[in-house]
Chains A and B, each alone.
Chain A
């Protein structure tokens, strides 16, 4: 994909202007955002270079690069029609024949992108990426952990810069991005090696222990994903976003294999985590790996027994393994560890909580987050709104209603009067006809009289509609009507249950003795 991303991730330090090969977000509407790695090269289907086509116009990347963040960018005229024939030729071009004679257009030459022509309408805003905007526009692979949930989770997990967090069930990566922001306190190494990351541990600077001027622990996210293609894609995204020094993506079944990372000589410490987020179907099966010391057989049995019969193999295979292997804890031995599990069903919660109780977790607390977005609008009600959009043309007040009734009655009275006259006229004519007389002169006069009668009357519906339309030109709708708010039409009423718990640092007789000696 993109060549090696710039060292400062656009998530933390986007710079003043958008830059090539860095992630930018095109915001079209509030919930319609397009993430794109900005590219200045010409190897795309358009002569303007890489182009984002949207309902609100086409945006060539050349118009998006080197813009101050937050800029309103106008759409450009892009020939989207003739692309198909060209693209075929182009696709074959560089791969099979290489860049030689049969590519006549100047746009084929690298870097020579045709300057885009501004379109007459359409615009978008270019904004720097953040976990929130990314959450709104990331490619969905699984259920996404949305902002109200992850913000609360990270708050409750007490995640701070420099912390190490385990995330299992990385899914679409929305929580990953939020977690990186929370743990970020600098890039572990000055140099950036994008190709050197294969599930190994980059979270800790190798020689940080030897640093003389104080020890600085860099934050790290340890992300586990069972589904290999998803893990792969997450890794690609992380790299595109300049975050691969901070996130370790591992494709693994954590129920089975736990959370410790293989030692690679420099780093034989595991994740050394002090915060854990489990978005797994059966978190209780993973909990046994998240202990400070190997859980006793009785505890293990009670934990696995609580799982349903659909996962019996986990129990069978893990128990002997645990017994034979030397237990290594993925947790930070010195810090209290906070955990959050994210499960949609109450049965999952019950099992998780009972496993937590058996394994000595404390401060167990289960909550669900109810969040809603509100819609703010002006509600215009009144007879003046007749025939207008987005308004209610009913009477706004009793007085208005009475007036309208009165008007209608008045018009009706005149109308009926006229009807009667007409009737009489017809009768008269009929009679005159019978008698063989001629009554011609009256018609024009009658018309005149009719109009005169309506003169002083309230306007007809047609007149009213016309007047409403005319008034609209001078009315200031943005401040008319009543300001109201209400829940947005689409409501997320349940995301998942969040179970929080804390595992204090291990404390034994010897520790107590040391503390007693020191402090009394």
Chain B
């Protein structure tokens, strides 16, 4: 994340009302904050995050709207009320212009008041609506004067207790102060922003659930991971690759990508800031620097990712840099396709071998619309963005029945002569198709070979159907995490992996195995197992599916949990949990570990001793998967 606001990045502006507004900061544009006013976007560029600005306009004697940084001490005074002002750091940040913040009359030094005399009558406010509107139109100094006037004309301001006075002041400031705080657009902010207005689109996912998902999925940066293969020499095992089913518009994906260090287009460049700021005089100085960093970032990642295996298509990195820079400049600001430049080496999308996310989507294209806040558009991805190589997506059709997907069938290969005789646009088309086919084939095959480090599911689809297909693709010891807004689907899932069902499943497998061996010949065990699988698949299918929609022996320690953050107000003498908060879905998490059951009979031990309830292991036998 940058320490200062960059052009064409998304930021969140939190208004005094508590509502956040997400905007893209495009240079030389006007930002409109409704009743709070308008100002030029350039006033924010290059400034740090988390500062609170106050709008100063004509009425404050400025020729055009300016922003004033509100010092922390001033912000805290308001919250605390006058009685408990923290030691102001007056020397540190002299307020430029503007009067000191002194809304409350100085005569408020009454020792203790109570609300015995409180009169619940709106007529005690002497200013009428019209008068207040008039004041607002006159636009007296960034709202403070209005508030002072309002408070001044309250008939019984002296009768208020100090607490209620503080509350009253705060309420009025929220309404009239022309201020906003600039917050960076990160996953936490995005979650807060979505939760405020459209939480149903993200399955009512809250930040605490996101944190839990990331932890239990053991998601981490895997740029340094080795590329290791299974005994067949082909299937990759591990390598920091996660399978994701995401029906939250990409929110879960962004959280995972953030933890893997592939969400932000140029995360490493903060160190160069000081150097960058020195050449501030240079025209549009920020952009070339920003993009150079973008490309070096991706190169760095590649270097890390390829400690063992050589980059499959190592061509490009150095030669493509000019183009990458170009697209990096354009793409975030306008979503139009990349400008056409004839000789452009191809950078294969979704080609990373480690540190990747593989998204499975039910439609033709994945819905990852929230990635747009991080300068990534799945429709027209920027090559310099780390997600370009590290985010892979394929549809359920491509995974389960690739033959039915047109992009999986090989387009006709043409000879060089034939290509040479083609129009350039046709040739381009040809290459495009070939590449799409190559990409799909590679993706489908590597995904079907499995060996993923974990599976993260936040989907509206029936979880058992997802796990049936995807759990076998997770490596031994890999984590499986399923989020659901409601407990019931996950309770069911726990039941499908219950100890009792596992025992029954194994017993049933053994029964059918024994039947086979009794009926038939003395085949080698391996063969018998195989035949048995076939048998089970053909004859028992109906019954098996009802009782055992998933193979219960593949997951260890299925658990169900939920977490919720409870917010508190902390003020001197007034500390308590906040009075209201969001209801709705609680948000539950199913977690388990993928294991490789022993091939053969397994007898548990220890279930005679200790508390019965606690014994997880029962008499159990396991069979081949």
Contacts and interface: CB of A to CB of B under 8 A. Distances in A.
B604 A152 contact: no
Nearest to A378: B495
A270 interface: no
Given A122-B604, A215-B268, A504-B51, A158 B500 contact: no
A360 B73 contact: yes
A126 B593 CA distance: 11
A27 interface: yes
Interface of B is mostly: mixed
A475 to B, nearest CB: 11
Given A127-B593, A130-B479, A299-B87, A369 B270 contact: no
B550 to A, nearest CB: 13
Contacts, number: 354
B454 to A, nearest CB: 10
Interface string B70-83: 01110110001000
Interface residues of A, number: 113
Interface string A120-154: 11110111101110000000000000011011111
Contacts of B92: 293, 296, 360
Nearest to B228: A16
Given A13-B238, A362-B50, A505-B3, A121 B557 contact: no
Interface residues of B, number: 130
A56 B3 contact: no
B149 interface: no
Contacts of B516: none
Nearest to B285: A518
A8 B224 contact: yes
B498 A376 contact: yes
A155 B214 contact: yes
B566 A520 contact: no
Given A69-B477, A156-B207, A296 B89 contact: yes
B158 interface: no
B166 to A, nearest CB: 14
A13 B225 contact: yes
Contact of A336 (B3, B273, B605, B617): B3
A184 B273 CA distance: 22
A41 interface: no
A15 B478 CA distance: 12
B597 interface: yes
Given A350-B572, A519-B27, A56 B606 contact: yes
Contact of A367 (B210, B568, B597): B568
Nearest to B191: A155
B491 interface: yes
B606 A55 contact: yes
Contact of A147 (B215, B270, B280, B598): B215
B327 interface: no
A120 to B, nearest CB: 6
Interface in A260-284: none
A56 B565 contact: no
Interface in B466-503: 475-479, 487, 491-492, 494-495, 498, 500-501, 503
A479 to B, nearest CB: 6
B504 interface: yes
A370 interface: yes
A360 B221 CA distance: 33
Contact of B238 (A16, A162, A371, A499): A16
Contacts of A89: none
> Which residue among A56, A72, A74, A367 has the maximum number of chain B CB atoms within 10 Å of its CB?
A72
Given A152-B207, A476-B547, A502-B50, A12 B225 contact: yes
Interface stretch (B117-125, B258-266, B388-396, B412-420): B258-266
A362 B557 CA distance: 42
Contacts of B595: 70-72, 125, 127
Contacts of A115: none
A239 B69 CA distance: 46
A357 B86 contact: yes
B604 A354 contact: no
A58 to B, nearest CB: 10
Interface string B217-258: 010111111101110000001101000000000000001001
Contacts of B296: 213-214
Contacts of B71: 360
Nearest to B67: A512
B385 interface: no
B42 interface: yes
A304 to B, nearest CB: 11
Contacts of B605: 55-57, 75, 119, 121-123
B281 A215 contact: no
A335 B215 contact: no
Contacts of B222: 12-13
B560 A70 contact: no
> Which residue among B91, B222, B568 has the maximum number of chain A CB atoms within 10 Å of its CB?
B568
Given A15-B238, A217-B271, A483-B495, A514 B280 contact: yes
Given A56-B605, A57-B605, A301-B87, A70 B223 contact: no
B380 interface: no
Interface string A35-75: 00000000000000000000111000000000011111111
A187 interface: yes
Interface string A322-359: 00000000000011100000000010011001100110
Interface string A488-500: 0000000001010
Contact of B218 (A56, A132, A187, A485): A132
B320 interface: no
Contact of A517 (B89, B281, B567, B603): B281
B224 A371 contact: no
A408 interface: no
Interface in B558-599: 559-570, 572, 575, 588, 593-598
B541 interface: no
A357 to B, nearest CB: 4
Contacts of A55: 605-606, 609-610
B272 interface: yes
Contact of A519 (B45, B76, B495, B557): B45
Contact of B91 (A155, A160, A296): A296
Contacts of B4: 505, 515
A288 interface: no
B277 interface: yes
Contact of A368 (B1, B494, B566): B566
B602 interface: yes
B297 A214 contact: yes
A128 to B, nearest CB: 5
A150 B214 CA distance: 11
A152 B208 contact: yes
Contacts of A497: 568
B416 to A, nearest CB: 36
A8 B501 CA distance: 38
Contact of B477 (A127, A187, A477): A127
B224 A186 contact: yes
B622 to A, nearest CB: 6
A249 interface: no
Given A125-B593, A370-B564, A479-B501, 13 more contacts: A16-B228, A27-B557, A28-B616, A56-B606, A74-B602, A151-B214, A152-B208, A186-B223, A216-B268, A354-B86, A476-B547, A505-B3, A507-B69
The 9 closest A-B pairs by CB, nearest first: A70-B476, A214-B296, A161-B261, A69-B477, A155-B211, A122-B605, A121-B603, A515-B46, A151-B215
8 contacts: A126-B477, A160-B1, A185-B261, A214-B293, A336-B3, A362-B52, A484-B491, A485-B494
Interface of A: 8, 12-16, 27-30, 32, 55-57, 68-75, 119-123, 125-128, 130-132, 147-148, 150-156, 158, 160-162, 178, 181-182, 184-187, 213-217, 293, 296, 298-299, 301-302, 334-336, 346, 349-350, 353-354, 357-358, 360-376, 378, 476-479, 483-485, 497, 499, 502, 504-505, 507, 512, 514-515, 517-520
